[in-house]
Structure 1
Amino acid sequence: MTAQPDPAKGRRAVRIPVLPTLLVALAVLVMIGLGVWQLQRRGEKAQALTFAATNPGRPPVAFPKLPPVPADLLFRRSSAYCLRVVGWQVEAGRAADGSTGYRHIAQCATGAEGPGVMIAVGVSQKPDEKPAWTGGRVEGWISQEPDHRALFPRIGGKAPPLRPMLIARTAPPGLKPVAPPRAADLPNNHLAYAVQWFFFAAIAVIIYILALRRRNAPNPA
């Protein structure tokens, strides 16, 4: 009687390395989390865009003293008084005439105590320009300080809220007026970012599966 071959002997056990698998799984979970966060941000940005499109034409309101800036106040007309300038911040920016340059943001004291106020007073062509402006009453639009917060604290909800900033309607001598705020300045591209992160997660899984198959493929005799 002829012995039948044992099918189990012709199969190799699939070996899955523990540490690389855990690292890939962690990376995939992070990418999925980033995609979900972008979807949440999409809803928030849609609400902000609705207000930003209509707020510049609404009546002036009091300038908010503390962050965060409510969506219904974003780009509303307002005014603030700078008692004295205690520092300057320079950021890339756009002037009202459409030219690009460097936006000069004054860090102002408003009294002996209190949070102070940030005012984007004007745009120059040189980042080391020294504005001669020393303070006073300023009219303009409510905005927010430039966002330089790290990504992961923002995702975890631990990043500090952005402080309110006034975009001045007119500029002091030597500077161009800052471009008025527009809804187009708040692009809602969070859906594209979410799809991108989900795509990266899927590609990572596919690449790892192919790598495991290649690793466990039988060696040619």
Structure 2
Amino acid sequence: MSQGRALGRMMTGTFVVLMLALAVVCAWLGVWQLHRLAEKEALIAAVAERLHDAPIPVPAVEQWSSLDLTDLNFRPVSLTGAFRYNQTVTVFTSLSNANGAASGPGYWVVTPFVLADGGTVFVNRGFIPEAMQEAAVTDAESDTVQVTITGLLRPAEKGGFMTPAADTSNRVEWVRDPVRLAEMVDPSLAPFAPFYVDLPAGAPGELPQGGETAITFPNNHLGYAYTWFGFAIVAIVMLGYWLIRQRATSKS
């Protein structure tokens, strides 16, 4: 009998420790999410301020392998070089909440921009409606006129395992990823920057329709924090209920 009681007390103690540990872990995860919330809000504020900074020169080729693209995301940059319009690639999208008149299914018009100091940056010139895709990739001619442009530096969009392969015959891609885009253009334009640049809006009604950069960041950390704190509370409540039941059972 005494051995059974000892075993029962040991199992009770183990269960209590496990439930308390679970509550502590859930509470810690809730606190961690609150820290992540503060970091995300600081990032959003920094980006909002960064958008109004004067453009900096686009990073040179020798810097590309060591860039901190998180720090450069949405930073205004200036580039001097020439577009290769005959190498344009279109990237399928569906534009909602557009800043310009055009929206709905369509394409980003992405054109290689050969820098005067070497290397090539893919430049997203803006959005066009779906019906204009063929003209965007077939009516363009080669151009070597040197110009200086400004835009927002953006890290590559990465495709997932469900992202289709590029439609090379129609020059259609699905993500703005310089690695994938480079496979669609003349390889002599290499090296290619590990980022792309979004152009600002042009004149009203002008196509491609620039200025459509979405300044958004997923920010669900507060909801996650509430969830983890809720789990911690549930664990404590369940433990309390179980202990009450155990005491009532032992008295009976």
| TM bracket (short chain) | 0.5 to 0.7
> Any idea what the Cα deviations from partners look like across 1:69-104, whole Å, max 9, x if unmatched?
364773324236554747544345453327654562
Q: Hey, what does 1:121 align to over in structure 2?
A: 125
Q: What are the residue-to-residue correspondences of 1:131-142 with 2, within 5 Å?
A: 132=136, 139-142=149-152
SS of structure 2 residue aligned to 1:15: helix
Q: Hey, what does 2:195 align to over in structure 1?
A: 164
Q: Distance in 2 between matches of 1:39 and 1:88?
A: 39
Match of 2:153 among 143, 149, 152: 143
Contact 1:142 1:166 in 2 (8 A): yes
Q: Hey, what does 2:186 align to over in structure 1?
A: none
Contact 2:111 2:125 in 1 (8 A): no
Q: What is the CA-CA distance between 1:187 and the residue it aligns to?
A: 5.7
- Whose helix proportion is higher, 1 or 2? 2
Contact 1:39 1:190 in 2 (8 A): no
> Any idea what the Cα deviations from partners look like across 1:19-38, whole Å, max 9, x if unmatched?
9x879967974784475266
Q: Distance in 1 between matches of 2:127 and 2:14?
A: 56
How many residues get paired? Answer: 192
TM-score after normalising by structure 2: 0.48
* Structure 1 residue 60 corresponds to structure 2 residue 55: yes
Q: Hey, what does 2:210 align to over in structure 1?
A: 177
Q: What is the CA-CA distance between 1:148 and the residue it aligns to?
A: 5.5
SS of structure 2 residue aligned to 1:205: helix
- C-alpha change, 1:59 and 1:109, in structure 2 (3 Å) is closer
Identity of aligned residues (%): 12
TM-score after normalising by structure 1: 0.52
Alignment-mate amino acid for residue 60 of structure 1 = P
Q: What are the residue-to-residue correspondences of 1:20-169 with 2, within 5 Å?
A: 29=25, 32-33=28-29, 35-36=31-32, 39-40=35-36, 42-43=38-39, 45-46=41-42, 49-50=45-46, 52-53=48-49, 55-56=51-52, 58-64=53-59, 66=64, 67-69=67-69, 71=71, 74-79=74-79, 81-83=82-84, 85=87, 87-93=89-95, 94-97=97-100, 100-101=103-104, 104=108, 106=110, 108=112, 110=114, 116-126=120-130, 129-130=133-134, 132=136, 139-145=149-155, 164-169=195-200
Gaps of 5+ in 2: 161-193
Gaps of 5+ in 1: 1-8, 151-162
Alignment-mate amino acid for residue 59 of structure 2 = P
Contact 1:169 1:178 in 2 (8 A): yes
- C-alpha change, 1:176 and 1:34, in structure 2 (3 Å) is farther
Q: What is the CA-CA distance between 1:193 and the residue it aligns to?
A: 4.4
Q: Distance in 1 between matches of 2:18 and 2:111?
A: 47
Q: Distance in 2 between matches of 1:203 and 1:129?
A: 55
Alignment-mate amino acid for residue 63 of structure 1 = V
